[in-house]
Amino acid sequence: MVMTLESLPRGHSARITAIAWDRLAPDEGQRLRAVGIDTGAEVTMAHRGVFGGRDPIAVTIGRMTIALRRAHAAAMQIEPLARGNL
Amino acid sequence: MNPIRKVALVGNPNAGKSALFNALTGARQKIANYPGVTVERKAGRADLPSGAPIELIDLPGSYGLDATSPDEMVTRKVVLGEFAGEARPDIVVLVLDAANLEQHLVFAQEIIEQGLPTLVALNMVDLAERDGLTLDPVALAHALGVPVVPTVAVRRRGLAELLAAIEAVEPAANIHSEERQVGHITLPERRLAAHNIARAAIISESGVHRLHAGLDRLLLHPWIGPLILFALLFVMFQAVFAWASPFMDALEAGAAALSQAVTSTMPAGFLRDFLTEGVISGVGSVVVFLPQIVILFAFILVMEASGYMARAAFLMDRLMAGVGLSGRSFIPLLSSFACAIPGIMATRSIADPKDRLTTILIAPLMTCSARLPVYAVIIGAFIPARSAGWGIGLQGLVLFVLYLAGILGAMAAALVLRRSVTKGTASGFIMELPRYQMPRLRDIAIGLWQRSWIFLRRAGTIIFSVTIVLWLLLTFPRAAPGEDQVDASAAGQMANGLAVVVEPIGFNRDIALALIPAMAAREVAVASLATTYAVSGSDDDETAAGLVPQLQARWSLPTALAFLAWFVFAPQCLSTIAVARRETNGWKWPAFMLAYLFALAYVFAGITYWSALALGL
């Protein structure tokens, strides 16, 4: 089964293997690439949700923390990395 | 003699550009807008070691030259020399966050490729070291092919070295970007190069920023985080009212003393009346609100400088998504509590055009500080200062309800707008959460000074002239003996016409009279009521007693409540309309904004008036 970034638990790390760009608005895709979220990037789930809801989420990439929506994360296929690989 | 060289600061958002700009220029800055857009153009002077001055400009933070927001478009056009009315900079200072080097090197490569004389300010090296990251500036300079100067802008470290490096830059040979052969480099290639350059420059790396991760675990906690945010907002609004009052009392006393001094030193006559009734009573009633504006902006500036504002946007995203907006709209809307003008200008960081338009259209519904004078005076006059139970004052409760009405009105308006006129795909939310930083007193002070100055300039120009025009219209033609001066005056005649329209919602002639000049600025409503009653006051005692007893004698409670309801919604501020016109490039949206807000104001004032009458208030 293919895993997407959306289902990555908090504190876990993963490598993005593919991004369905057609599911994102063009400028959103551009904005994600600008902050380094692209195929091959390694990210860690830092925060999920507010007030019991599951949106928005925040991932760390390198030394940056990026907030995004679950809808974006659902377009990103990942392969999980070993835990603690921060 | 050489013309003054122009040096542009360029870099990613959160690289510390503004702190570097403040450190280099001090208070010698000029804030204006770029021609045609309302992106703030910050320019200032700095002196090179030889004493020669340079002009520094602080360009909006950007992730790349492929601009996605109006902000980034300015940076792109200025760097490429395509901005009409803004000369291409002679030198570019690339500001890089040392602790985020790899990310920031992506945009840095793009800038260096443009061929302008460039040097790098490797900023916040102290924070990088605190994070366990040691960098080698020489290796970085070698890899990038441009000079690198390590700086800590907030501690004023490396500034002299940076200025010396700017001085040492050779004036550019004529650059024509079209002549240079720049092969198209893809983003992944740049990112790979950035990775390699960063690796070459990093001497040692250990651990991750534990402090920030720890703070975020608390402040972004799904339940504790929002509670902290709401507590902070509560303290902020409390502070605006509680902390400001001693200063406001002092300013009020000062205006009264000034008026008194003028009365006692000048002979009775036209000029004396003009100074006391017109200038001091009108402008004074507005300047009184400076302390509240300073306190509100102090909170906003500290939240921005510390990095917390982005967290607030994160926490509010889910609520904003409920009405079709995103967390990014929270920052402009929060600023709109101080004033809708900086609020509307702050929407330029919202990339989605429909999102941005909706935020602009609802920003005037946030209770700005200009409405406070109106609310404060009417509440003080008509709402008894008694407890509403549980230790909550009734006056404070009414004020809270007015704020809430504005917020709920804005949310409802956003919901309707996103389903009708600004319909579009659900907007996304992608935002960098910068590292936490201790705000520097100096940067906050400069920001506060700029905001206060803008407010005072407004009080000194728009409000001053409107008050004077109104006073003249109220004073002439002179009343015949036995006739009321306001009835006889030109302004009184005009107001009689408007009074017919606003009578069904419980407004009297004096209110109609106040509504006209209040179009210039809401707080003028108070000034003009004060001027009106000062002019019509039969003797000096009545004038000296002030506005509150006059209001109590002349207005009914339903009228006062309807007046408050009107001000929750009415777009009573020409400057806001003007900014909305510039931001939306035309009259269509400001006209729409005027129409829907006036309609809301009329309907809600009417409902309030008739309900209050029905309840026998």
Residue numbers of the domain that contains A9: 3-80
B44 neighbors B65 (Cβ within 8 angstroms): no
**Beta carbons of A28 and B327 less than 8 Å apart:** no
- Least Cα distance to B410 among B342, B295, B353, B332 occurs for B332
State how far residue B587 is from chain A, nearest Cα, in angstroms.
27
B375 neighbors B566 (Cβ within 8 angstroms): no
Specify the pLDDT at position B7.
Answer: 92
E strand or H helix at B598, and its extent? helix B588-614
B325 neighbors B230 (Cβ within 8 angstroms): no
Q: Angle between the B290-306 and B224-242 helix axes, to the nearest 10 degrees?
A: 150
Residue A53 placed within a domain: yes
Can you count the helices (H) and strands (E) in chain B?
30, 10
Instruction: Write the ipTM.
Output: 0.91
- Least Cα distance to A66 among A47, A85, A40 occurs for A47
Say how far apart CA B82 and CA A52 lie, in whole Å: 48
Residues of chain B with Cβ-Cβ distance to A65 below 8 Å are 212, 216, 432-433
Interface test with B, best of A55, A64, A76, A85 (most B CBs within 10 A): A64
Q: By CA distance, what is A10's nearest residue in B?
A: B217
Residues of chain B with Cβ-Cβ distance to A31 below 8 Å are 63, 68, 351, 430
Residues of chain B with pLDDT under 70: 1-2, 27-40, 171-183, 205-210, 241, 282, 285-286, 391, 426-427, 458-459, 462-463, 520-521, 536-546, 572
- Residue B215, exposed/middle/buried by CB under 10 A (0-12, 13-18, 19+)? middle
Say how far apart CA B4 and CA B491 lie, in whole Å: 52
Residue A45 placed within a domain: yes
First-to-last alpha carbon distance for chain A, in angstroms, is 24
Q: What is the pTM of this model?
A: 0.76
Q: Categorise residue B158: left if φ over 0, alpha if ψ from -120 to 50, beta otherwise.
A: left
Task: Look up tokens 């009914």; give the residue.
Answer: B556
Residue A86 placed within a domain: no
Residue A85 placed within a domain: no
Specify the pLDDT at position B63.
Answer: 86
Read off the pLDDT band of A85 (50, 70, 90). very low
- Least Cα distance to B563 among B606, B532, B520 occurs for B606
CATH code, domain carrying A21? 2.30.30.90
Q: By CA distance, what is A29's nearest residue in B?
A: B430
- Least Cα distance to B601 among B371, B282, B359 occurs for B371
Bridge-partner residues for B432, per DSSP? A66
Taking only the tens place, the pLDDT of each residue in B440-462 is: 888 889 888 887 887 777 667 76
Residue A61 placed within a domain: yes
**Beta carbons of A51 and B209 less than 8 Å apart:** no
Going by C-beta distance under 8 Å and a sequence separation of 6 or more, which residues neighbour residue B614? none
Residues of chain B with Cβ-Cβ distance to A34 below 8 Å are 63-64, 66, 68, 106
E strand or H helix at B244, and its extent? helix B244-265
Say how far apart CA B83 and CA B80 lie, in whole Å: 8
State how far residue A65 is from chain B, nearest Cα, in angstroms.
5
For residue B495, the Cα-to-chain-centroid distance in whole angstroms is: 33
Task: Tell whether A72 is within 8 A of chain B (Cβ).
Answer: yes
Residue A28 placed within a domain: yes
**Beta carbons of B428 and A63 less than 8 Å apart:** no
Say how far apart CA B469 and CA B463 lie, in whole Å: 10
Say how far apart CA B276 and CA B267 lie, in whole Å: 12
Q: Is the peptide bond before A56 cis (omega within 30 degrees of 0)?
A: yes
**Beta carbons of B68 and A31 less than 8 Å apart:** yes
State how far residue A10 is from chain B, nearest Cα, in angstroms.
11
**Beta carbons of A66 and B213 less than 8 Å apart:** no
A29 neighbors B187 (Cβ within 8 angstroms): no
**Token pair recorded at residue B345:** 């200008």
Q: What are the DSSP calls for B409-440, one per residue? A: HHHHHHHHHHHTTT--SPP---EEEPPP-PPP
Residue A73 placed within a domain: yes
**Beta carbons of A49 and B208 less than 8 Å apart:** no
Specify the pLDDT at position B413.
Answer: 93
Partner residue opposite A25 with nearest CB, options B64, B66, B428: B428
- Least Cα distance to B576 among B356, B361, B331 occurs for B361
Say how far apart CA B211 and CA A44 lie, in whole Å: 17
Specify the pLDDT at position B568.
Answer: 92
Task: Tell whether A33 is within 8 A of chain B (Cβ).
Answer: yes
Residue A48 placed within a domain: yes
CB count within 10 Å of CB B290 equals 19
Specify the pLDDT at position A86.
Answer: 46
Bridge-partner residues for B431, per DSSP? A67
**Which ranges constitute the DSSP H helices of B428-508?**
441-458, 464-475, 485-488, 490-502
Helix (H/G/I), strand (E/B), else coil: B255: helix
Q: How far is CA B285 from CA B254, B554, B561, in A?
A: 11, 20, 21
Q: How far is CA A53 from CA A48, A49, B321, B324, in A?
A: 9, 5, 11, 16
State how far residue B407 is from chain A, nearest Cα, in angstroms.
20
Can you count the helices (H) and strands (E) in chain A?
2, 6
Q: Angle between the B371-382 and B557-569 helix axes, to the nearest 10 degrees?
A: 160
**Beta carbons of B226 and A50 less than 8 Å apart:** yes
Task: Look up tokens 């003008």; give the residue.
Answer: B341
State how far residue B307 is from chain A, nearest Cα, in angstroms.
12
Q: How far is CA B403 from CA A31, B49, B206, B368, B568, in A?
A: 35, 53, 49, 9, 8
Specify the pLDDT at position B558.
Answer: 92
Task: Tell whether A48 is within 8 A of chain B (Cβ).
Answer: yes
The backbone torsions φ and ψ at residue B535, rounded to the nearest 5 degrees and listed phi first, read -70, -40
**Beta carbons of B64 and A34 less than 8 Å apart:** yes
Q: Categorise residue A5: left if φ over 0, alpha if ψ from -120 to 50, beta otherwise.
A: alpha
Partner residue opposite A68 with nearest CB, options B64, B318, B429: B429
Counting the structural domains of chain A, the total is: 1
Q: Is the peptide bond before B477 cis (omega within 30 degrees of 0)?
A: yes
**Which ranges constitute the DSSP H helices of B555-587?**
557-569, 574-584
